[in-house]
Amino acid sequence: MLSLDLWEKAAQFHGHKCPGLAMGFKACEGAIEELGLSADGASSVDEELVCIVENDACGVDAVQALLSCTYGKGNLIPRLRGKMAFSFFTRENGRGVRLCLKPGCGSNLDRAAFQEYLISTPYDQLFDVKVPPYGLPERARLFKSERCAVCGEVTAEYALRIQNGKPVCADCYDAYEREGF
Ligand SMILES: [Zn+2]
Ligand SMILES: [Zn+2]
């Protein structure tokens, strides 16, 4: 299991201790074990390690603090599904693991006891450990940019739409709402 020094490190980054952070902490433990990462705070070399988070809750901060997957580096990718699930991939060897909190985990415990239970229980008793049902996402790409024809702000190509024959950003685009009617 991961040392409590790492728990303290995660809590310092997050700003408080809570059961949600403990879930992320244990997901990190699972990633380190399952993918054979080094446990010494396992800083990922650039985007070698990629984490897909299926929630936007407290636990994501443990992943950022301990595994150095960050939004800015492009190796922390939100895939919001409202599930306490985390997938980790190593680009080097293409391995991946998905950890999804088991149903009913700690449901009979109060908040403090739940947090303690999470921290002191091996990850594979907390999470279902599976192969991710989706593949490794591509690396962050560089895109050309153009000015939006409406607001004038410079926008990357992938986020532009065509409206009246001109490029417009997503906020200026007047969506055609009949789709899927
Ligand atoms: Zn929290
Ligand atoms: Zn615009």
Q: What residues sit around ligand 1, an ion, with C-beta below 5 angstroms?
A: 18, 20-21, 58
178 CA → ligand 2 middle, Å: 22
Ligand in closest contact with the CA of 159: 2
176 CA → ligand 2 middle, Å: 16
Separation between Cα atoms, residue 32 and residue 66, nearest integer Å: 10
48 CA → ligand 1 middle, Å: 27
Helix H or strand E encompassing 86? strand 85-90
95 CA → ligand 1 middle, Å: 29
143 CA → ligand 2 middle, Å: 17
70 CA → ligand 2 middle, Å: 27
Residues in a beta bridge with 167:
162
Per-residue pLDDT of the chain (181 residues; tens, 9 = 90+): 999 999 999 999 999 999 999 999 999 999 999 998 876 545 555 558 999 999 999 999 999 999 999 988 889 999 999 999 999 999 888 899 999 999 999 889 999 999 999 999 999 999 999 999 998 878 878 999 999 999 999 999 999 999 999 999 999 998 777 766 6
Query: How far from chain centre, in Å, is Cα 19?
Result: 17
Closest alpha carbon to 149 in 134, 131, 161, 136: 161
Name the token pair of 49.
Answer: 């390690």
Roughly what angle, to the nearest 10 degrees, separates helices 4-14 and 59-67? 120
Q: What letter would DSSP give residue 77? A: E
Ligand in closest contact with the CA of 169: 2
Query: How far from chain centre, in Å, is Cα 68?
Result: 11
Q: What letter would DSSP give residue 126? A: H
Q: What letter would DSSP give residue 157? A: G
Residue 134: other Cβ atoms inside 10 A: 11
Ligand in closest contact with the CA of 22: 1
Q: What residues sit around ligand 2, an ion, with C-beta below 5 angstroms?
A: 148, 150-151, 169, 172
Residue 138, CA distances (Å) to 17, 42, 76, 78, 179 in order: 33, 22, 12, 14, 28
pTM given for the model: 0.85
